[in-house]
Structure 1
Amino acid sequence: MLKKELGTLEVFSIATGAMISSGLFVLPGIIYQESGAGLSLSYLIAGILLLPAVFSQLELSTAMPRAGGNYVTVERILGTPAGIIAGITNWLAISLKSGFALIGIGTFATLIFPELGETQIKLIAIGACVFFTFLNIISTESSGKAQVIMVAVLLLIISAYILIGYRAMDFSYFTKAPKSKWANILGAAGTVFISYGGITKVASIAEEVKDPGKTLVRGIIASFVITLILYVLAVLVTQGILSHRELSTSYTPISLAAGYLAGKPGIWVTAGAALLAFITTANAGIMTASRNPMSMSRDRLLPPIFGKVSKKTGTPVFSIIITSAIIISIVAGLSIEKFAKVASLFMILTYILTNLSVIVMRYSGLANYRPTFKSPFFPILQALSVVVYIILIIDMGSLTMAISAVVIVLCLIWYVVYARNQAGKKSAFLHMLANITNQEIAGNDLEEELLTILLERQDIKEDEIDRLIKNAWILDMDRPSDIQEIFDIFAEAISERLPIEKEKAREKLFAREQQASTIIFPGIAVPHAIPHIVIEGKNFFDIFIIRNKEGIKWENNQTVYTAFCLAGSKDKRDMHLRALMAIAQIVQTDIFTNDWLEAKNTTELKTILLLAERKRN
């Protein structure tokens, strides 16, 4: 298990640092050519349209805070084919986000050498990619504190730029700018999605976050809101400082505008901030992106070579090299504008899968799916966002649609040819189908994984009682019953799991009840009984549970709603007493009293028992 060392400030800094990059320092000039006067509106729309994906990602990350990000959650939820698509698109999205930062490094070289063209900018980007590839192969150590400092400096510089630049704005530039149709503004918003790509990167480090239920939500929401505000205001100020010709031809619009505000120092300060953002985004992006194929390889969805880690450097060398090769190929083959569109395309595909995953999880009926953050306005928000994201892809042009279709088809071909026989886990989608068809086709893999996460989230260290409860025999009855029937059922279950005949077990249960009533807490709203017997032999102990919401008529016409039956050998006397004490503590907890009779199935009943507070050894 990875160490949980990241707090709210670190989560905020990682997300913000990943978002503030080429999307702010390079992209405005490119987008302006399409959006015209609606430039800042495109940034605002992109941010608003991203909100459903942010909510959905938070819900999934607080329910399944696992390393691997979107790939892990989508693969567990929608199944292996969708998992492959998510893994590949997330791999490409983060890779291209890094590539766009690398292009930013080349672009800012034009401040020193103004005569550089697009080819020279790409060569500089490729050279930087080679350098960072070598750096990632050698070591991947990074500092959370350094990230916090870097983001603080970036936010300070951008805030100063907005506050100083506002006073110098010429609002006539807005009226002089070319008017754009809503279709153009929306298309530009699709391209701008790359600017907010850092939000998805945080999902990859969710397992390393302290108290993710609170920390992730606070850090990501704060990062998203602040970054959106800064993006819109900074772009708005830039529109008010630069003329139409300057803004439409500049690859460094923020620095160009800062030059009007503070001369050479303004240019160098903003350029330094931009380069700092590009370097950290590019380096961290190559590292993060290379972990996607590594995780897929460990799940046997890619060849083993992708998962091999160098003994000397401790890094996945092959994954890093392939990731960098993909970045270099796309940097060399696409124009800067097309590069931004393709990068945003893969981001949008990832967001579509994320929203679909939340829909499936909510309808799957999984008892242990318990996110601490639930997306509001479900499922309308998720369904509408998927439709809007598809419209954005269509509006981005035929090239992006063709690329998305090719990637999806290739992923499905790979699943059929290679990964289909490797997949073993059952998805939440199968659980949803099981709910609809009332068939047991899903298995318990995902339920068990989610339960493990719940126990980790509440910092519960399992003891022997927990392990007994996990393996306990449990029955949920939906009709009134009596002690005779319950003891018959218990006796049969005991005889199947322990070395004792059914009739002998039944006799012992009734004999124990005649000695003294096994009802506990008869005065509380939901009384329970704990019949218990001793069997011959050694090293035997088991727990049997029946829940009956309609009630069980016990001795003396008393009604109980749950019977916990304990059966064990004499040498397990200590375990017997510990189990009695544990059950007595559990049934008095708030989680038990409030949720027990409302539980939908036996899996949820076990979860309630395991999550209830009690003294553990």
Structure 2
Amino acid sequence: MGSVKLKKELNLLDVYSIITGSIVGAGLFLLPGLAHEKAGAACIFSYLLAGLLASTAMFSMAEMVSAMPKAGGDYFVVKRIMGPAIGTIAGLLSWFFLSLKSALALLGMAMFTSQITSMDIRFISLMFALLFIIINILGVKEAGWTQVVMTLGLIALLLIYILRGFWAIDVRRFQVFAPKGFMPVIYTMGLIFVTYGGILKCVSVAEEIQNPGRTIPLGMILSLLTVSIVYTLAVFVTSGVMEPEMLHKSKTPLNAGASIFMGRAGTVIMLLAAILACITTANGGIMAASRYPLALSRDGLLPNFFNRINKRFQTPHIAILATGAFIILSLFLNLEGLAKTSSTVLILTYILANLCILIIRESRIQNYQPSFRSPLYPWLQIFGIIGFLFLIFEMGMETLLISLALGLGGFLVYWYYGRARAVKESALLHLMQRVTDKDLGLSNGALESELKNIIREREGLVNDRFDELIEKCKVLDIDKKMQIEELFKLVAESMSHVLSVPKDELFNELIRREKENTTVISSTIAIPHVIIEGNNMFDILLVRCKEGVAFSEEVASIHTVFVLMGTRDERNFHLRALSAIAQIVQGSHFEKRWMSAKNSQALRDIILLGTRKRYL
């Protein structure tokens, strides 16, 4: 069943709803009072700054996942960039804490629900957990549709709170805006940062998203903008309608604020919003968390049964059931200590996102071709890493030690199970090889090949005859400068036995054709082509000459040569091949990428992944 593919059924609205619903959790309804107590009304800037800091990791992950839109998103990226050991740790930690956050959301939802029913909160949590497990097994579209309805309902209720509350604000409550100065605003970021914890969730279902190169970055940006604005305005309204002393004592400040300007109806509306917030977090968490065991299993880092895809529903049912079982078990544990570490692990994940993009960009891996690029590179990422390290320092040593212990557990899983099965090649090794100029045994090109296949899948590319010729064609990679006659002799010697044409005859035909009419099409590119005797024969030879080939006195430095050789009955395909080459060489940065390619396969990949029309 592992050969069954995941369905690409999630669109932009689904992605937006998964992210937004996952971010807006119980924290918005519980933390504003505590944030206001620490920083005063200036805590609204804590929410804005936290959103700005979260955007550094968001932009980094959006770029990397647009290049590698696979299940287990951030794990998949970290493993390919940092290696299997760090990847296993990152994947298991993400799975553990997304599952834990879902359990906490279910308990929070049950706590709010208990205000209108006498049922035991753990029983309520269990019922909703089972419901969401079933929905996720039935199909990602069903889970996504559920998320859309609930998230849009949640945003609508919060907008009612903001719009109605705006006219009840007493501006005198902002006269002492930052009673304790500016630094508490920074410290309070660490307290409320967990409320931005869902921003990277959708990347784990990247393989099930339509047009992921565009949909994921756009969905993440729209979600973060929505959440940052809603958070800031909701806290602004709450600070403006409630007396500070009352706000600091309230355990559910948005409910209390709504009761001031909307009465009992306001309390009910905010209670419903809080329940929806918890439900969307739980549903999105189960959907996202279950893709980590799937991705780890695909890479041989967890047992193979996690990789099974249900033939009927095309969902990873084993991974969903395992995730659901862990969440249900967590409902009956004392979660307080582990819950305190969630912010620390979340921040460590964001640091990894920023660090990974620095590594893969500087590794100069050719087939790393994201559809979206992070702005302000590398300064945005450096700012993010410094900011996240500051937040971790402020959180204290205890939670960091617990997180390190969990990380050690992940490493032990890799060491005793995954180490013998894992592919060791990573972007980090490519960077080390580039910096040290030492051969680290990366000549097999496993990562480049995997990235090439991902690009083909992402772009929906299907091999045509031109691709098939390029995949098996000969490549001449020449370091020295040479004359055109020397080049044509090498071409004739390489292709004579392939075409069953005497090399002298092939050489003379190449020379004759060039004298008849030059095949140079630009200052650095030439496309020599000859007709050979026979039927149904056509071949291509690629040439890179780093120092340049002198085709004439006027054109003395040709670096890229496509040699086309075919019989007369292949005239139509000859024209298609010329058209394909013309489209490819017009691509952005073609010459730079051609000259920096590491080997013959890298030269082929530039042609294979070039933008052009395909004839199937």
* TM class, shorter-length: 0.7 to 0.9
What is the SS of the residue equivalent to 2:46?
A: helix
CA displacement at 1:189 relative to structure 2:
2.0
> In structure 2, do the counterparts of structure 1 residues 319 and 524 end up closer, same or farther at CA, with 3 Å as the change threshold?
closer
**Kept in 1: contact 2:202–2:288 (CA 8 A):** no
Task: Name the CA distance, whole Å, in 2 between partners of 1:36 and 1:330.
Answer: 35
- Residue among 112, 116, 125 paired with 1:112: 116
Structure 2 match to 1:229: 229
CA displacement at 1:481 relative to structure 2:
0.9
Say which is worse superposed, 581-590 or 81-90, in terms of deviation. 581-590
What is the SS of the residue equivalent to 1:369?
A: coil
Structure 2 match to 1:406: 405
Task: Name the CA distance, whole Å, in 2 between partners of 1:579 and 1:307.
Answer: 42
- The AA in structure 1 aligned to 2:549 is I
> In structure 2, do the counterparts of structure 1 residues 132 and 191 end up closer, same or farther at CA, with 3 Å as the change threshold?
farther
1:343-362 superposed Cα distances (whole Å, 9 cap, x missing partner):
22222122111111111110
- The AA in structure 1 aligned to 2:574 is L
Structure 2 match to 1:342: 341
Identity of aligned residues (%): 35
Structure 1 match to 2:575: 581
CA displacement at 1:27 relative to structure 2:
3.3
**Kept in 1: contact 2:147–2:283 (CA 8 A):** no
CA displacement at 1:211 relative to structure 2:
3.2
Q: Within 5 A, what are the aligned runs for 1:35-434?
A: 35=39, 37-112=41-116, 125=125, 128-129=128-129, 132-133=132-133, 136=136, 142=142, 144-171=144-171, 173=173, 185-308=185-308, 316=316, 319-327=319-327, 333-334=333-334, 341-424=340-423, 426-434=425-433
1:424-481 superposed Cα distances (whole Å, 9 cap, x missing partner):
2521222222322333632322222322333344443321211221233323434421
**Kept in 2: contact 1:476–1:547 (CA 8 A):** yes
What is the SS of the residue equivalent to 1:421?
A: coil
**Kept in 1: contact 2:93–2:410 (CA 8 A):** no
> In structure 2, do the counterparts of structure 1 residues 398 and 515 end up closer, same or farther at CA, with 3 Å as the change threshold?
closer
Structure 2 match to 1:448: 449
**Kept in 2: contact 1:93–1:344 (CA 8 A):** no
What is the SS of the residue equivalent to 2:514?
A: coil
Task: Name the CA distance, whole Å, in 2 between partners of 1:312 and 1:140.
Answer: 12
What is the SS of the residue equivalent to 2:89?
A: helix
CA displacement at 1:514 relative to structure 2:
4.8
Structure 2 match to 1:25: 29
**Kept in 1: contact 2:102–2:283 (CA 8 A):** yes
TM-score under structure 1 normalisation? 0.86
**Kept in 1: contact 2:19–2:199 (CA 8 A):** yes
What is the SS of the residue equivalent to 2:398?
A: helix
CA displacement at 1:583 relative to structure 2:
3.4
Task: Name the CA distance, whole Å, in 1 between partners of 2:476 and 2:86.
Answer: 35
- Residue among 545, 548, 562 paired with 1:548: 545
> In structure 2, do the counterparts of structure 1 residues 179 and 543 end up closer, same or farther at CA, with 3 Å as the change threshold?
same
CA displacement at 1:87 relative to structure 2:
0.5
1:46-92 superposed Cα distances (whole Å, 9 cap, x missing partner):
21111110110111122122222111111111110121122112112
Please tell me whether residue 8 in structure 1 is matched to residue 25 in structure 2: no
CA displacement at 1:511 relative to structure 2:
2.9
**Kept in 1: contact 2:36–2:239 (CA 8 A):** no
Task: Name the CA distance, whole Å, in 2 between partners of 1:290 and 1:181.
Answer: 44
**Kept in 2: contact 1:166–1:237 (CA 8 A):** yes
- Residue among 562, 565, 569 paired with 2:563: 565
Q: Within 5 A, what are the aligned runs for 1:574-613?
A: 577=571, 580-589=574-583, 591-592=585-586, 595-599=589-593, 600-601=596-597, 602=599, 605-610=603-608, 611-613=610-612
1:150-194 superposed Cα distances (whole Å, 9 cap, x missing partner):
333322221221122122234555678995576654444224233
Task: Name the CA distance, whole Å, in 1 between partners of 2:421 and 2:552.
Answer: 55
> In structure 2, do the counterparts of structure 1 residues 542 and 403 end up closer, same or farther at CA, with 3 Å as the change threshold?
farther
The runs of 5 or more residues in structure 1 that have no matched partner are none
Say which is worse superposed, 34-43 or 80-89, in terms of deviation. 34-43
TM-score under structure 2 normalisation? 0.86
CA displacement at 1:408 relative to structure 2:
1.8
Structure 2 match to 1:462: 463
Task: Name the CA distance, whole Å, in 2 between partners of 1:12 and 1:60.
Answer: 18
> In structure 2, do the counterparts of structure 1 residues 210 and 290 end up closer, same or farther at CA, with 3 Å as the change threshold?
closer
> In structure 2, do the counterparts of structure 1 residues 401 and 101 end up closer, same or farther at CA, with 3 Å as the change threshold?
same
**Kept in 2: contact 1:89–1:347 (CA 8 A):** no
> In structure 2, do the counterparts of structure 1 residues 139 and 202 end up closer, same or farther at CA, with 3 Å as the change threshold?
closer
> In structure 2, do the counterparts of structure 1 residues 7 and 135 end up closer, same or farther at CA, with 3 Å as the change threshold?
closer
**Kept in 1: contact 2:587–2:611 (CA 8 A):** no
**Kept in 1: contact 2:83–2:426 (CA 8 A):** yes
RMSD: 3.5
- The AA in structure 1 aligned to 2:420 is N
> In structure 2, do the counterparts of structure 1 residues 197 and 151 end up closer, same or farther at CA, with 3 Å as the change threshold?
same
CA displacement at 1:589 relative to structure 2:
2.7
Say which is worse superposed, 199-208 or 123-132, in terms of deviation. 123-132
Task: Name the CA distance, whole Å, in 2 between partners of 1:461 and 1:314.
Answer: 23
**Kept in 2: contact 1:532–1:567 (CA 8 A):** yes
Task: Name the CA distance, whole Å, in 1 between partners of 2:612 and 2:580.
Answer: 7
Task: Name the CA distance, whole Å, in 2 between partners of 1:525 and 1:58.
Answer: 37
> In structure 2, do the counterparts of structure 1 residues 491 and 446 end up closer, same or farther at CA, with 3 Å as the change threshold?
same
> In structure 2, do the counterparts of structure 1 residues 557 and 268 end up closer, same or farther at CA, with 3 Å as the change threshold?
closer
> In structure 2, do the counterparts of structure 1 residues 251 and 144 end up closer, same or farther at CA, with 3 Å as the change threshold?
same
- The AA in structure 1 aligned to 2:456 is L
The runs of 5 or more residues in structure 2 that have no matched partner are none
CA displacement at 1:395 relative to structure 2:
1.4
**Kept in 2: contact 1:70–1:204 (CA 8 A):** yes
CA displacement at 1:563 relative to structure 2:
2.9
- The AA in structure 1 aligned to 2:110 is G
CA displacement at 1:512 relative to structure 2:
1.9
Task: Name the CA distance, whole Å, in 1 between partners of 2:246 and 2:139.
Answer: 41
> In structure 2, do the counterparts of structure 1 residues 200 and 135 end up closer, same or farther at CA, with 3 Å as the change threshold?
same
Q: Within 5 A, what are the aligned runs for 1:516-527?
A: 516-517=513-514, 521-522=519-520, 524-527=522-525
1:98-128 superposed Cα distances (whole Å, 9 cap, x missing partner):
12321321231353379x9xxx756754564
> In structure 2, do the counterparts of structure 1 residues 579 and 366 end up closer, same or farther at CA, with 3 Å as the change threshold?
farther
Structure 1 match to 2:510: 513
> In structure 2, do the counterparts of structure 1 residues 231 and 203 end up closer, same or farther at CA, with 3 Å as the change threshold?
same
CA displacement at 1:34 relative to structure 2:
5.0
- The AA in structure 2 aligned to 1:237 is V
- The AA in structure 1 aligned to 2:228 is L
Task: Name the CA distance, whole Å, in 1 between partners of 2:135 and 2:613.
Answer: 49
Say which is worse superposed, 132-141 or 341-350, in terms of deviation. 132-141
- The AA in structure 1 aligned to 2:504 is E
**Kept in 2: contact 1:65–1:212 (CA 8 A):** yes
Task: Name the CA distance, whole Å, in 2 between partners of 1:240 and 1:379.
Answer: 39
